[in-house]
């Protein structure tokens, strides 16, 4: 073994080293948060190469292109340029690469288009319209999700029709024609030479299952070692494909999966926790070895122990107990606010305090929430305080209209059968080809079962329309020639100019119009960078427009998250998975928000919500703040909330409480958590935070105390409160039932308080 190899093995702890050097047979690595999972995965690949395994016989499947790139870079640090030959990439990108080669076996062209969500929705919308079905009953997103679920569970349109449960469900949901839509959708995609994201998995399974020309054995022999990252996020179909690649007679089953069942949070995308829970049993007879990475290198002990205390309440799981060597650190702050508006202000105040006290940069801080709609309040206060921030989960660059328009021209130049691209740009900029003309072409394409492109030169139209169509066809043929003979950047520049799109955008001199031109320029800059990066790679690397389109078709949200500028990060907990920050604020910790009211209906849903909270907690390195508001606006109405049950699952010794009403917790007050056992947690009993004044003494006589009507209380008045005594109203915010008063109580330990008048019980003096 080389000196370099010895050095990288010395960088691992004992369990990590065992997982890295266990080369043959099935291996399950259960990797707790911050436990060096990526290091184990990358060093394992490097170790295989160092031990003589040809790098092209190693397949490493990830969930983001970013993860695959980082893996290759880290492998390269150990084994040098040999790392370039490892097959490392996302499930979708690797399978797309294989399907390009084997497409003919499935009746597809090798240059098939990859449809994104918008493309799929557009096809479904057209089918629903042609079938004269109600767009309200057949909501496109619901229909697309149903079809996606069917594909992920290996249910073809024919099998769907035979499944009485599915057909009955559609009947009850008043969508009895869903199976027919599914059938038409599959046929139309195939006719257009297009695959959606689900097809990249489904067609890969079909290829291995039907095994034309021994293609399954070909890839089983090529990929002698298979590794899967984030295995807890795989769906049924992905696991079935992996098993097709690694389970075969008279050959070693060299599969290593790495993941954490406690971080399985994507059931809504079709991921199933059962894959990782069942993996050990599935490979038991093949001599599986299990390694648990329990040392957390990211977070302090208070944070790590709180995470353990929360997740232990889930039902079925792989037992483990993560621990930290970083010392106790700061206790977790639990922060209470009277309203979501106050929560926003208090969080931003706390951010400023942390930045000043601990010298944190903006980029060190993240605000995490359960739903994207929660970001608004925090955005408002960050703007008021002039603190730069960035919201993740908004509109992707590649989803902006002008970008999608130019990409549609690129797509049609690569694959003329791409009907969604054709529909998008056939009259953009306007060239006299109206919707009725497009619909006639579409109907004839359906009747003759031909791509729309093939019919453009043939169908009879009035002279003006005929000339417009001929001009369009000639234009696209020129683009096709450019795409076939020049680099992606040269072809893109040519298409951008000759299509007329750039000139049309430049004619809009508004700020928005100039912004659209900047987006086009940014897209072209990205293509230039792509070509240069490809040219610097292995000899013969593809720099074509087709290669570029595939690369951006497979981008994930996290791949677009640049981390170079100094800004506060705002994102949902789902988006934060895999990230880490010195300071994390988890906000909206209330019943029916986190956990979500929809998840509270089933034990499985509650378990997933708890795993989501576990992920949120373990993003924090040194500082963790959990915040909740006793009231907030939801769907236009003020809602009053109980604190999340998850808060009461954390032991008191890890927590520091911060009180509501604009003050920190006063002396003599202490958090009194409802310490119910795990069984009650699972049964749905709500948690509670209680606060007590010192000795519970009242500051007024209840016999003579007479609360005044809340609508009579005004700024400047003197008032009496049972617990806080005599006070003066300094200011009042809000209107009607939502008025909140700031009152100075002279005899209180925390004199300045914010109180919602609707519930205050104050007597005017």
Gyration radius from the chain CA atoms: 30
Under 8 Å between Cβ of 762 and 699? no
Cα–Cα dist 492/530, whole Å: 12
Q: What is the DSSP code (8-state) at residue 417?
A: T
SS3 for 8-30, per residue? HHHCCCHHHHHHHHCCCCCEEEE
Q: Is 398 helix (H, G, I), strand (E, B) or coil?
A: helix
**Which string of DSSP letters, residue by residue, matches 226-286?**
EEESSGGG-BHHHHHHHHHHH--TTS---EEEEE-GGG---GGGTB-THHHHHHHHHTGGG
Q: Is 230 labeled as catalytic in the residue annotation?
A: yes
Cα–Cα dist 94/228, whole Å: 12
Residue for token pair 């951010």 = 351
Outline where DSSP puts E strands in 419-562: none
Contacts of 653 (CB under 8 A, 6+ apart): none
Residue for token pair 């090529």 = 222
Q: Is 11 labeled as catalytic in the residue annotation?
A: no
Q: Which entry of 57, 170, 230, 405 is annotated as an active-site residue?
A: 230
Contacts of 655 (CB under 8 A, 6+ apart): 331, 332, 333, 334, 671, 673
Q: 391 to each of 374, 382, 579, how far by Cα in Å?
A: 11, 12, 15
What tokens were used for 753? 């308080």
Q: Which of 191, 196, 186, 190 is nearest to 114 (CA)?
A: 196
User: Could you give the strand order of the β-sheet that contains 763-764, starting from the edge strand earlier in sequence?
Assistant: 752-756, 740-745, 725-733, 718-721, 763-764
Q: What is the DSSP code (8-state) at residue 537?
A: S
**Which string of DSSP letters, residue by residue, matches 660-705?**
STTSPPPTT---EE----HHHHHHTPPP-EE---GGG--SS-TTT-
Under 8 Å between Cβ of 230 and 259? yes
Cα–Cα dist 383/385, whole Å: 5
Q: What are phi and psi of 552, to 5 degrees?
A: -85, -25
The distance from CA 528 to its chain's CA centroid, rounded to whole angstroms, is 28
Q: Which entry of 17, 37, 188, 516 is annotated as an active-site residue?
A: 37
Q: Which entry of 18, 21, 38, 556 is annotated as an active-site residue?
A: 38
Indicate the helix (H) or strand (E) that contains 626: strand 620-629
Q: What are phi and psi of 49, to 5 degrees?
A: -65, -45
468-471 contacts, C-beta under 8 A, 24 or more apart:
468/431, 468/432, 468/433, 469/433, 469/437, 471/431
Q: Which entry of 90, 263, 317, 437 is annotated as an active-site residue?
A: 263
According to DSSP, the residues that pair with 656 across neighbouring strands are 333
Q: Which entry of 57, 119, 229, 340 is annotated as an active-site residue?
A: 229
According to DSSP, the residues that pair with 333 across neighbouring strands are 625, 656
Q: Is 164 labeled as catalytic in the residue annotation?
A: no
Q: Which entry of 619, 632, 753, 754 is annotated as an active-site residue?
A: 619
Outline where DSSP puts E strands in 327-459: 332-337, 365-369, 389-391
Under 8 Å between Cβ of 32 and 305? no
Cα–Cα dist 621/327, whole Å: 12
Q: Is 542 labeled as catalytic in the residue annotation?
A: no
Q: Which of 190, 278, 268, 207 is nearest to 239 (CA)?
A: 278
Q: Supply the residues annotated as catalytic.
A: 37-38, 229-230, 263, 619
């Amino acid at each position: 073994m080389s000196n370099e190899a010895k050095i990288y093995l010395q960088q691992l702890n004992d369990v990590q080293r065992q997982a890295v050097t266990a080369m043959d047979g099935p291996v399950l690595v259960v990797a707790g948060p911050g436990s060096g999972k990526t290091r184990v995965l990358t060093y394992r690949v490097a170790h295989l190469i160092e031990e003589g395994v040809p790098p092209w016989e190693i397949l490493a499947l990830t969930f983001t292109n970013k993860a695959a790139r980082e893996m290759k870079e880290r492998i390269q640090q150990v084994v040098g340029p040999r790392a370039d030959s490892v097959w490392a990439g996302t499930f979708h990108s690797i399978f797309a690469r294989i399907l390009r080669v084997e497409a003919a076996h499935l009746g597809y062209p090798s240059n098939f288009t990859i449809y994104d969500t918008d493309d799929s929705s557009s096809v479904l919308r057209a089918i629903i319209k042609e079938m004269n079905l109600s767009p309200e009953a057949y909501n496109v997103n619901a229909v697309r999700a149903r079809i996606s679920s069917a594909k992920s569970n290996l249910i073809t349109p024919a099998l769907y029709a035979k499944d009485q449960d599915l057909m009955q469900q559609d009947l009850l949901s008043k969508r009895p024609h869903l199976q027919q839509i599914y059938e038409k959708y599959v046929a139309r995609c195939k006719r257009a030479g297009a695959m959606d994201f689900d097809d990249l998995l489904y067609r890969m399974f079909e290829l291995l299952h039907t095994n034309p020309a021994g293609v399954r054995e070909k890839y089983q022999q090529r990929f002698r070692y298979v590794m899967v990252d984030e295995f807890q996020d795989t769906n049924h179909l992905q696991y079935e494909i992996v098993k097709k690649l690694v389970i075969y007679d008279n050959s070693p089953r060299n599969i290593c999966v790495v993941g954490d069942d406690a971080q399985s949070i994507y059931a809504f995308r079709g991921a199933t926790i059962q894959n990782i829970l069942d993996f050990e049993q599935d490979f038991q007879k093949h001599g599986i070895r299990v390694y648990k990475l329990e040392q957390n290198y990211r977070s302090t002990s208070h944070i790590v122990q709180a995470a353990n205390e929360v997740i232990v309440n889930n039902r079925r799981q792989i037992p483990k107990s993560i621990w930290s060597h970083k010392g106790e650190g700061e206790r977790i702050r639990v922060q209470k606010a009277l309203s979501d508006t106050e929560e926003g202000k208090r969080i931003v105040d706390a951010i400023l305090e942390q930045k000043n006290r601990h010298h944190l940069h903006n980029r060190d801080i993240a605000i995490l929430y359960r739903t994207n709609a929660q970001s608004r309040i925090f955005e408002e206060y960050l703007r008021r305080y002039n603190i730069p921030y960035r919201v993740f989960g908004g509109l992707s660059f590649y989803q902006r209209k002008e970008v999608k328009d130019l990409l549609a021209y690129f797509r049609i130049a690569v694959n003329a059968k791409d009907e969604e691209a054709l529909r998008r740009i056939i009259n953009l900029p306007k060239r006299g080809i109206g919707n009725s003309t497009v619909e006639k072409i579409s109907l004839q394409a359906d009747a003759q079962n031909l791509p729309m492109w093939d019919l453009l030169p043939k169908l009879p139209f009035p002279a003006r329309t005929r000339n417009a169509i001929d001009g369009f066809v000639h234009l696209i043929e020129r683009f096709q020639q450019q795409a076939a003979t020049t680099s992606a950047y040269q072809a893109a520049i040519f298409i951008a100019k000759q299509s007329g799109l750039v000139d049309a955008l430049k004619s809009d001199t508004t700020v928005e119009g100039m912004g659209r031109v900047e987006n086009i320029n940014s897209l072209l800059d990205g293509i230039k960078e792509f070509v240069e990066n490809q040219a610097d790679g292995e000899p013969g690397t593809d720099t074509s427009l087709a290669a570029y389109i595939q690369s951006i078709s497979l981008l994930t949200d996290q791949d677009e998250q640049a981390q170079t500028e100094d800004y506060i990060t705002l994102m949902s907990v789902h988006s934060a998975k895999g990230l880490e920050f010195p300071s994390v604020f988890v906000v909206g910790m209330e019943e029916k928000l986190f956990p979500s009211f929809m998840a509270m209906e089933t034990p499985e849903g509650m378990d997933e919500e708890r795993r989501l909270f576990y992920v949120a907690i373990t993003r924090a390195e040194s500082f963790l703040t959990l915040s909740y508001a006793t009231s907030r606006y939801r769907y236009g109405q003020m809602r009053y909330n109980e604190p999340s049950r998850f808060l009461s699952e954390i032991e008191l010794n890890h927590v520091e409480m911060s009180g509501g009403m604009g003050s920190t917790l006063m002396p003599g007050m202490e958090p009194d958590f409802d310490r119910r056992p795990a069984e009650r947690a699972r049964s749905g009993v709500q948690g509670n935070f209680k606060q007590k004044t010192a000795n519970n003494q009242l500051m007024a006589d209840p016999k003579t105390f007479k609360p005044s009507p809340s609508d009579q209380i005004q700024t400047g008045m003197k008032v009496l409160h049972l617990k806080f005594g005599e006070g003066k109203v300094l200011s009042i915010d809000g209107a009607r039932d939502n008025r909140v008063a700031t009152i100075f109580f002279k005899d209180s330990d925390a004199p300045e308080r914010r109180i919602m008048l609707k519930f205050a019980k104050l007597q005017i003096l």
